């Protein structure tokens, strides 16, 4: 009996040991497989994160790099439009008046407001000398209702000056400020008020560049005659709102590689501001001088900025990479870009760029010293 028990025990012990060994071998295999699976998982996760990071940064920089290859100043279309820049308040009134006085055949104007007596008298004199004087004028200014419109009509009613409102154009405001004479165009940031020469920071850009003179003459005549204007009718250097301003402004900002200088009365349009923020995140230096910041978030978004109260800031200018300048009547608001008649222009003319850049630095340095 005892011997039989030992035999059974030996058999079970051998069987048990064999099974224990098998179990341990299986457990060892499982641990080894688990390590392989775990290592494989971490390798795949690392590769996935690396690829995702490459794609994310690639998408973030793709538009910046593609535009940087061909900045506006180097594109086939010329933006080197010769200008003479007049900056106020620095006694430029006589120079503008002298240029307008030379008008013999025509004086066409898009204007938001004309209240200055000397200017109205000048326009009357030009018309009495036989020149065709046509004015497209806003008939319901913001905050003024129709008073400025009615006053101007009364003052020119006995003269040959012809005036139309912007009602037939389907706009919110006729806010462009542009003169077209026989051989020149003056695109300005200023209304024809007393302040436009003597109190405000304003810019006036004068050119006799024939393609611009001819194109704006054609656009004015179409507005005057209530004719349709298509985007392809507009010279590539012009922003003629609301037809092409959103696209042109986006492409203009997108072309920046190093610096964006802005001197503007308003900064309101969320699409424009988001694009500026994106550019700043891509290490483009954004410096802003504004009359006021309507959104408190902008004070944290853009640290390189100053508020300019004196002289009153009425400009709407942007300088890209120290060599491409945008100037005109277009405020950087959604209404201006999408609903108003606005006229601005892009130029790479170095003399014009230098004038603006010097004045920007003068204003910037003064504001910086005042803050200290």
What pLDDT is attached to residue 151? 92
Exposed/middle/buried for 12, CB within 10 Å: 0-12, 13-18, 19+? Answer: exposed
Angle, CA of 224, 229 and 232, to the nearest 5°: 140
pTM: 0.79
Strands 162-164 and 106-111 come out as: unpaired
Q: Which of 86, 60, 92, 114 is nearest to 277 (CA)?
A: 60
Kindly list the domain boundaries of the chain, sorted by start residue. Answer: 72-371
What pLDDT is attached to residue 303? 84
Low-confidence ranges of the chain (pLDDT < 70): 1-39, 41-43, 46, 48, 50-78, 90-91, 143-145, 194-198, 293-297
Class of domain 72-371: alpha beta
Evaluate whether 115 touches 193 at the Cβ level (below 8 Å). yes
What pLDDT is attached to residue 39? 65
pLDDT in tens, 110-142: 999 999 899 999 999 999 999 999 999 999 887
What pLDDT is attached to residue 11? 52
What pLDDT is attached to residue 176? 97
């Amino acid at each position: 009996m005892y011997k039989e028990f030992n035999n059974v025990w030996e058999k079970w012990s051998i069987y048990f040991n064999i099974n224990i060994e098998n179990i341990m071998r299986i457990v060892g295999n499982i641990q080894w497989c688990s390590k392989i699976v775990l290592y494989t998982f971490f390798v795949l996760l690392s590769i996935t994160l690396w690829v995702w990071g490459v794609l994310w940064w690639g998408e973030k920089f793709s538009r910046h790099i593609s535009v940087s290859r061909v900045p506006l100043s180097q594109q086939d279309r010329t933006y080197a439009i010769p200008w003479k820049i007049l900056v106020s308040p620095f006694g430029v009134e006589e120079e503008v008046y002298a240029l307008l006085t030379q008008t013999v055949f025509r004086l066409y104007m898009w204007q938001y407001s004309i209240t200055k007596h000397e200017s109205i008298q000048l326009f009357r004199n030009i018309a009495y000398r036989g020149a065709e004087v046509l004015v497209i004028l806003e008939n319901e200014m913001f905050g003024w209702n129709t008073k400025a419109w009615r006053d101007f009509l009364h003052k020119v009613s006995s003269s040959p000056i012809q005036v139309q409102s912007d009602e037939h154009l389907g706009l919110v405001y006729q806010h462009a400020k542009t003169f077209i004479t026989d051989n020149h165009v003056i695109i300005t940031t200023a209304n024809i008020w007393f302040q436009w020469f003597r109190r405000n920071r304003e810019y006036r850009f004068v050119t006799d560049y024939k393609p611009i003179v001819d194109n704006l003459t054609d656009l004015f005549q179409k507005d005057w005659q209530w004719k349709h204007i298509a985007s392809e009718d507009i010279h590539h250097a012009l922003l003629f709102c609301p037809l092409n301003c959103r696209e042109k402004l986006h492409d203009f900002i997108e072309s920046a590689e190093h610096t964006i200088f802005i001197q503007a009365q308003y900064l309101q349009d969320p699409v424009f501001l988001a694009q500026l923020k994106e550019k700043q995140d891509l290490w483009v230096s954004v410096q802003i001088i504004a009359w006021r910041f309507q959104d408190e978030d902008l004070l944290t978004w853009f640290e390189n900025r100053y508020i300019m109260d004196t002289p009153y800031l009425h400009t709407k200018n942007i300088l890209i990479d120290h060599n491409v300048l945008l100037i005109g009547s277009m405020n950087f608001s959604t209404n201006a870009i999408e609903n108003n008649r606005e006229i601005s222009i892009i130029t790479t003319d170095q003399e014009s760029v230098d004038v603006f850049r010097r004045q920007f630095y003068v204003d910037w340095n003064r504001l910086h010293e005042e803050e200290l």
